[in-house]
Amino acid sequence: MRAPFSAVIAISLGIIVLLGYFVPIGPLTSLRIVLLDWAVILAGVALIVGVVNLFYVHWKKTSEGNTESLYSGVLVFALLITLVLVGWFGPTHTFSLWIFNYIQVPVESSLMAMLAITLAYASARLLRRRIDLLSGVFLATTLVVLLATAPLFGIEIPGLGELRDWIAQVPATAGARGILLGVALGVVATGLRVLMGADRPYGG
């Protein structure tokens, strides 16, 4: 009973939004906008539900008393402090920005810095793991982009910049366009399947 009802709702709403996108009719556009607002509200609520679920899960892990409880306790503590401070003072308050500027941004930036070193190390050991054509191509591309992107102490290697631009604009863009085309076709197919009820990600 629930499956056809939910399928009818999903398919009808999808068709209304699609028609409102292509057919600029007042009521249809208004209905489409209302539906989109509902979706945004539901997404916001889903974010809140996610945060609550995160808190609940780590709260339970904190109560288990194992070695991972410490990390979960830190998460729960940080969540509560941020929620209290940002909720109380607002997101643009100094306390809120302090937490962001001195806790969140350095932590995430440090992760990106470690990522840079890890990638450099992995590239250095790439040929130790495997020596073949693709590994050589990968390493060559990496070296060209690195050397062409960064200033080499004021040394300009002739043609290296152009080679870097050619790699970024031709091979990389060609591959990305292929990916985008594939993604677009996949999205269209998925949308049609959802509209026809063949694919029901909402369940049923």
Q: By the criterion CB under 8 A, which residues form the site for other proteins?
A: 32-33, 36-37, 39-44, 47, 90-92, 96-97, 100-101, 104-105, 107-109, 111-112, 116-117, 120-121, 123-128, 131, 139, 142-143, 146-147, 149-154, 161, 165, 168-169, 172-173, 175-177, 179-180
Distance CA 28, CA 33 (A): 9
Residues 6+ apart with CB under 8 A from 126: 135, 138, 139
Cα–Cα distance list, 115 to 109, 111, 124, 140, 142 (Å): 10, 6, 14, 20, 15
CB of 195 vs other proteins, minimal distance in Å: 16
Nearer Cβ to other proteins (9/42): 42
Q: Which is nearer to other proteins, 174 or 198 (CB)?
A: 174
CB of 72 to other proteins, least distance (A): 21
Min. distance of Cβ 114 from other proteins in angstroms? 9
Task: Give the C-alpha separation, 31 to 17, whole Å.
Answer: 8
Instruction: Tell me if 51 sits within 8 A of 82, measured CB to CB.
Output: no
